[in-house]
Amino acid sequence: MYQEDKTFTLRFSLEAKFSEDYEGDDDDYVWAQNWERHIKPDLIKTVFESLRRMPEWKAYTRNRGKSPDDEIEIVLERNY
């Protein structure tokens, strides 16, 4: 079987800025926990809802060895 592929990257860089008197690690990365618990799951759900509207494409996640905290790969597959 012949296969072609292309990669598209949508990268999110999360940053939290604190006042000058911040001691560091006092908040135990609550801002990052908010991303993991609320924003990221909703974002992924929305992406898959959108992709399901394109029935000619099959969408699924694939793990390339990185933690899902750091990377989620979504594969779009179309058979001809």
Going from N- to C-terminal start, the domains of the chain cover: 30-77
User: In this predicted model, what pLDDT tens digit does every residue of 11-41 receive, in sequence order?
Assistant: 999 998 888 888 777 678 888 999 999 999 9
User: Looking at residue 27, what is its pLDDT?
Assistant: 75
Among residues of the chain, what percentage have pLDDT more than 90?
Answer: 72
User: Looking at residue 7, what is its pLDDT?
Assistant: 94
- Please check whether residue 53 is in contact with residue 39, taking contact to mean a CB–CB distance below 8 angstroms: no
pLDDT averaged over every residue in the chain: 92
User: Looking at residue 3, what is its pLDDT?
Assistant: 95
Q: Which helix (H) or strand (E) holds 43?
A: helix 40-51
In degrees rounded to 5, what are phi and psi of residue 43? -65, -45
Residue 55 has pLDDT above 90, yes or no: yes
Q: Distance between CA atoms of 74 and 47, rounded to whole angstroms?
A: 9
- The model's pTM is 0.79
Nearest to 30 by CA among 47, 44, 22, 43: 22
